[in-house]
Amino acid sequence: MAKIVQCVPNFSEGVDKILIEKIIDEIRKVEGTKLLDYSMDKDHNRCVTTFIGTPEAVEEAAFNACKKAAELIDMSKHKGEHPRMGATDVIPLIPITDVTVEECIEMSKRIGKRIGEELGISVFLYEKSASASHRENLASVRKGQYENMNEKMKDNEWKPDYGPDTLNVKAGATAVGARMPLVAFNVNLGTDNLEIANKIAKSVRGRNGGFTACKALGVEIKERNIVQVTMNMVDYISTPLYRVFDMIEREANRYGVNVIGSEIIGLVPMMALINCADYYLKIENFREDQILEKRIYE
């Protein structure tokens, strides 16, 4: 397969479809990209766009779309429920096929530099690209939102990575960063006892000493009379699905409860599952290029 990066830029416009189409045309125009999806939300006044492509094409398309959004969206007039700080609010870069997270970090820096220098927009590198640990979390970067960013950037802790130290009034500020694809993974327990699901969620999630790249909650599935550990796996390489699954099974057994099933919600990268097969079958020296489909698209 060719090198594939996914990009999920968020634009601060959720009502005007003609305007959004103009931004998205900048993505469509770049050869080597493929638009997978975009959705506009009126209350959030925000558009989430998903596209993929070769690293070069994604880099070009992300910059061009950001440039067009800066022309068309006026943040000084923007209202919406979702936290936001810029016309192009955030540009996440996600390694999909034959691309490392390091390559996506380099891409984010090049895109950020161009946005800063050519468009005069303040840029914060976040997540895997962050220049300091307090800038990894997008919510922390965006805290104060558009209205308070000018003030916030006066603090040395929040000096932008690229672009001016004073806010671009029309376009606001933009976060750019590499992150791993997110896998929504739920494990169902053979009990209706929510307390058990909550205890297990607490034991596996990073926040409470569990697996770093696992966010977990206990929830009730009322129609089935069971409970579930519902998870966001934010880095399936450093925290693999099988490791969390096995740990949940062990913790559940401690309460005399069985794991009765699991769910993958939405999309999952092929390797997040192949890695599980590799683990359970104890395959020695498996190489990704042994996957037939990889030969087809190389």
Distance CA 230, CA 183 (A): 11
- Residue nearer to a copy of itself on the CB measure, 2 or 132: 2
**Which tokens hold the place of 96?**
């999909």
Nearer residue to a copy of itself within complex by CB, 1 or 15: 1
Bridge partners of 11? 47, 88
Q: According to CB under 8 A, which one of 75, 158, 245, 251 is a site residue for a copy of itself?
A: 245
**List 181, 191, 196, 201, residue binding a copy of itself (CB under 8 A):** 181
Instruction: State which residue, 126 or 245, has the beta carbon closest to a copy of itself.
Output: 245
Cα dihedral sign for 200, 201, 204, 209? negative
Binding-residue pattern over the window 253 to 272 for a copy of itself, x denoting contact by CB under 8 A: ------xxxxxx-xxxxx--
Helix axes 55-72, 101-119, angle to 10 degrees: 30
Distance of CA 106 to the CA centre of its chain: 17
What number of CA atoms fall less than 13 Å from residue 220's CA on the CB side?
Answer: 7
Pair 83, 30: CB distance under 8 Å: no
In angstroms, give the least distance from the CB of 239 to a copy of itself: 14
Report if residue 237 touches a copy of itself, rule: CB under 8 A.
no
Q: Which of 145, 168, 188, 239 binds a copy of itself (CB under 8 A)?
A: 188
Q: Where in 129-158 is the site for a copy of itself (CB under 8 A)?
A: none
H/E element holding 202? helix 194-204
* Calpha distance 4→57 (Å, rounded): 10
78 is catalytic: no
Binding of residue 284 to a copy of itself (CB under 8 A): yes
Question: For residues 84 and 63, what is the distance between their CA atoms, to the nearest angstrom?
Answer: 19
Dig out the tokens for 59 from the structure: 């880099």
The nearest distance, CB 33 to a copy of itself, in angstroms, is 11
Q: CA 97 to CA 294: how far, in whole Å?
A: 9
Closest CA to 199 of 243, 257, 239: 257
The active-site residue, picked from 44, 78, 82, 134, is 82
- Least distance from C-beta 269 to a copy of itself, angstroms? 5
Judged by CB under 8 A, the number of residues near a copy of itself is: 44
Residue 120 CA, chain-centre distance (Å), reads 25
Residue 222 lies near a copy of itself (rule: CB under 8 A): no
Q: Are strands 173-178 and 122-125 parallel, antiparallel or unpaired?
A: parallel
Residues 71-110 that bind a copy of itself (CB under 8 A): 96-97
Shortest Å, Cβ 270 to a copy of itself = 5
> Is 17 near a copy of itself (CB under 8 A)?
no
Closest distance to a copy of itself from the beta carbon of 67 (Å): 26
Smallest distance from a copy of itself to CB 125, Å: 25
Active site residues: 82
Interface positions with a copy of itself (CB under 8 A): 1, 4, 6, 34, 36, 52, 96-97, 181, 188, 241-242, 245, 259-264, 266-270, 273-278, 280-286, 290-293, 295-297
